[in-house]
Amino acid sequence: MGRPRTPLLDRERIGATALELIDEQGEFSVPQVARRLGVQTGSVYHHVDGRAGVIELVRERVSASIDTATLDLRPWDRALTAWARSYRAAFAAHPHTIPLLMTSPVRAPKVLAQYEHAVRLLLETGFPVARVMTVITALENLVLGSALDLAAPETMWELPQDSPETTKLSEALAATPPRRADTAFELALEAFVAHCRSHVGPSANSSPSGPSGAGAPSSSPSGDPSSPSGA
């Protein structure tokens, strides 16, 4: 009997299957991946470096939805804002991956290349080299926290009826506009980028689109996980 034209197992299928399991149950195991693919667990290990290798395949798969072309936009603050929105949208589509990926070092070559791109943007803009990774890490904290917030209920506060202890909270909640997570993300992102501008010279901050360098806010923020760029 000849070999099947389509291989039963490859790295792409392993990564896709692991991501399916994480989306469904918040975790995965290599034996579970093998069972779903109809192969022995040992066969999976022929293609990846253990569980950590599978995690990197998942990271690469989710990160592939981030629009890296945003990092080529100019001025720099427009690029950083668009990249953040795209980054958030990619992970909002798979929120269960966030706790898993945040506890594992980044090794996937394609993901490292994206970080290289972001670092070059900040260095070319004039950020001190000692400040660059702090800026990127802070932006990721904002982006990934907001991606998790998108998976939360629209209303996160359940108040007792007619409680005098929560009257002001009740008023504030009633006045909150829809798309709470999107509005909060845009506020935080605007404040973050404004703070970053204080660390570069005036020439880097000059922009034809106004003081923010990002133009008008998007009418449809990246809270829609089906829209990877979100910008």
**Mean predicted lDDT score pLDDT of the chain:** 87
- Give the confidence band of 118 by pLDDT, cuts at 50, 70, 90: very high
182: Cβ contacts below 8 Å, ≥ 6 apart: 150, 221, 222, 223
CA dihedral (74, 76, 78, 80) in degrees, to 10, reads 130
Q: Where residue 206 falls among pLDDT bands split at 50, 70, 90?
A: low
Residues counted in the chain: 231
Alpha carbons 215 and 198: distance in angstroms, whole number: 19
In contact, 173 and 157? CB cutoff 8 Å:
yes
Q: Give the model's pLDDT for residue 231.
A: 32
> What tokens appear for 184 in the block?
């909060």
Higher pLDDT, 57 or 217: 57
- Mean pLDDT, range 184-194, rounded to an integer: 98
The two structure tokens encoding residue 112: 């490292």
Are 222 and 231 a contacting pair, CB within 8 Å?
Answer: yes
The pLDDT of residue 222 is: 39
Closest residue by Cα to residue 82 from 121, 116, 111, 120: 121
Percentage of residues of the chain with pLDDT beyond 90: 71
pLDDT at 219 over 50: no
* DSSP secondary structure letter of residue 164: G
Residue 184 reports pLDDT greater than 60: yes
Q: State pLDDT tens for residues 38-88.
A: 999 999 999 999 999 999 999 999 999 999 999 999 999 999 999 999 999
